[in-house]
A and B are shown apart, each in its own frame.
Chain A
Amino acid sequence: MDASGFFAEVDELTVARARRGDAAAIELLYATFARPVYTLGCRLTGGADSGEDILQETFLELLRSLPAYRGEGAFGCWLRRIAVSKVLMRRRRARVRSVEEAQEVADAPGAWSPATDRRFQLRFDLERALARLPEAARVVVWLHDVEGMTHAEIADAFGKTESFSKSQLARAHDRLRQWLVDERSIEHASEDRATAGVARR
Chain B
Amino acid sequence: MHLRTEQLLALRDGEGPPEDRHHLRECPQCAREVEALGELRAVLQGLPALEPPAAAWPGILAEHRRRQRARQRLAWAAAAAALLVMAVTAGLLLRPTTTRSSALPAPRPADLAELMAASRDLEMVLRSPSLRSPVLRPAEAARIVALEDQLALVDTQLVAVQAGPSRERALALWSDRVELLDQLVRARGRYDGRGELQNAVDL
Looking at A31-39, A105-113, A182-190, the stretch in contact with chain B turns out to be A31-39
B56 with A34: CB separation less than 8 A: yes
Residue pair B43, A38 in contact (C-beta under 8 Å): no
A-B contact count (CB 8 A): 89
- The verdict on A34 contacting B52 (CB below 8 Å), with A27-B57, A177-B36 known, is yes
Stretch binding the partner chain, chosen from A55-63, A71-79, A87-95? A55-63
**Complex Cα–Cα for A126 and B64 (A):** 36
Residues of chain B from 35 to 55 with CB closer than 8 A to chain A in the complex: 36-37, 40-41, 43-53
Complex-state Cα separation, A166 to B44, whole angstroms: 18
Is B51 a contact partner of A177 (Cβ separation < 8 A)?
no
A15 within 8 A of B: no
Interface of chain A: mostly helix, strand, loop or mixed: helix
B9 adjacent to A51 (CB under 8 Å): no
Q: Which of A153-161, A168-176, A192-200 has 4 or more CB atoms under 8 Å from chain B?
A: A168-176
A119 partner residues in chain B, CB cutoff 8 A: 43, 46
Task: Please give me the 7 A-B residue pairs with the lowest Cβ-Cβ distance, nearest first.
Answer: A3-B45, A38-B52, A170-B5, A170-B6, A145-B41, A39-B50, A39-B49
- Chain A positions near chain B (C-beta within 8 angstroms): 3, 5, 27, 30, 34-39, 42-43, 48, 51-52, 55-56, 59-60, 63-64, 119, 122-123, 126-127, 130, 141-142, 145-146, 166-167, 169-170, 173-174, 176-177, 180
